């Protein structure tokens, strides 16, 4: 069972599903275009056996805010803001489609933060 958190980054409210042991290695799940954090429900539940799972709903998707401004770079900054607030210093990134582009930008901007 995951806990649904709302994290506000630069005025944008993002919904994040968190599960797994707080002291486990962090795994961030990023969904594709037109999807939302709920898409990771089954995968997240399985991964939570070994990881602290953060399935982040990107801006404009699901229950996250729709601020009207959208870009991969803004989504990258949103995810990094969520991580800054929730605390994991180093994370593994698992993504598909649009989320993959966001993950790539995160790894490029902060290479020491992502472990794979």
Q: For residue 13, what are the β-bridge partners?
A: 8
Q: How confident is the model at residue 116 (pLDDT cuts 50, 70, 90)?
A: low
Give the C-alpha separation, 47 to 112, whole Å.
Answer: 22
pLDDT digits over 21-54, tens only?
A: 999 999 999 999 999 999 999 999 999 999 999 9
Give the C-alpha separation, 90 to 51, whole Å.
Answer: 12
| pLDDT in the model for residue 29 | 98
The three-point CA angle 35-38-40 to 5° equals 90
The three-point CA angle 112-73-107 to 5° equals 20
- The helix/strand/coil state of 11 is coil
pLDDT digits over 57-108, tens only?
A: 999 999 999 999 999 999 999 999 999 999 888 999 999 999 999 999 999 9
Residue 1 has pLDDT above 90, yes or no: no
What lies within 8 Å, CB to CB, of 37 at 6+ separation is 15, 16, 17, 29, 31, 55, 56, 57, 61, 62, 64
The fold for domain 3-109 equals: Rossmann fold (3.40.50)
């Amino acid at each position: 069972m995951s806990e649904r958190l709302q994290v506000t980054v630069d005025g944008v409210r993002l919904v994040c599903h968190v599960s797994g042991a707080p002291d486990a290695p962090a795994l961030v799940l990023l969904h594709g275009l037109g999807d939302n954090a709920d898409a990771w429900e089954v995968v997240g539940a399985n991964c939570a056996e070994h990881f602290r799972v953060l399935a982040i709903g990107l801006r404009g998707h699901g229950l996250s805010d729709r601020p009207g401004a959208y870009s991969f770079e803004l989504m990258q900054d949103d995810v990094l803001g969520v991580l800054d607030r929730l605390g994991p210093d180093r994370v593994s990134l698992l993504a598909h489609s649009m989320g993959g582009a966001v993950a790539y930008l995160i790894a490029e901007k902060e290479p020491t933060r992502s472990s794979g």
